[in-house]
Amino acid sequence: MGVLNVTPDSFSDGGRWFTQADAVAHGIELLDGGADLIDVGGESTRPGSARVSEEEELARVVPVVRELARDGATISVDTMRVSVARAALDAGATIINDVSAGQSEEGMFDLAAGSGAPLVLMHWRGLLTDASAPVHYDDTVREVADELRARVDAAIAAGVQRDALIIDPGLGFSKNAEHNWEVLARLDVFADIGLPLLVAASRKRFLASLVSPDDPGAATQEQRDAATAAITVMAAQAGAWAVRVHEPNSSRIAAEAVTAVRRAGS
């Protein structure tokens, strides 16, 4: 899953693909680089980011989705707003990626149920700008898994088919570096939930802290991408459905290496 942020303020590439032409061109680059689908988002969820208006998010996302879909791309829309998800589906997106797992706005489950679109449910305890969003865990993996199961149950109760659901443990969301590593160490627990698993670690701060502990901000994109590819290996070994990455080529190669080793072993 290639990341396409049509935003001025996303943590890794904010502003680089902000115009429609640049965004579409980068979407094609992601596909050429090995992405199978493009995740288009018009609102940054990085720490400190401010929410944009519904009108602005629609203006950022829908034209890019429409043009990429016209070119044959498979597209997920990264949004917490029902109206944006609906407009993106109408424009040619086929997957809804809601980082709030239906908690930001009522109606997301109804939209997924009515449209039949696959729905990504991410572990979420509130916006990263919300100081009250809890980051304490007594048992990180168990609590994250249990809270994800609760969102799965809520979606199914609202009419979403179980086989349309995808889960994401939400690395970096209401989690510090230690929590993130604990989740990654037990990806098998999330795979055992029995739903397609999305792992989204790409270029996040905990990876920057790994490669540059004294000054995470000094970590280069290349260093973050190298760490991301290592996470892709772990995700592939755990049987993940997809990894969400900014630079797909190195992650595709990493996943293919896992496949080659598995094939040789069998």
Mapped onto helix, strand or coil, the DSSP state of residue 36 is coil
Q: The tokens of 167 are what?
A: 């889960």
Cβ neighbors of 67 (< 8 A, separation 6 or more) are 20, 24
> Are the CB atoms for 214 and 222 separated by under 8 Å?
no
Rounded CA-CA distance 232/195 in Å is 18
Rounded CA-CA distance 168/101 in Å is 9
Rounded CA-CA distance 46/115 in Å is 29
Rounded CA-CA distance 102/225 in Å is 30
Mapped onto helix, strand or coil, the DSSP state of residue 30 is helix
- Residue 205 CA from chain centroid, whole number: 15
The phi and psi torsions of 241 (rounded to 5 degrees) equal -75, -40
Where in the sequence numbering do the catalytic residues fall? 204, 244
Rounded CA-CA distance 200/3 in Å is 10
Consecutive H or E run containing 38: strand 38-41
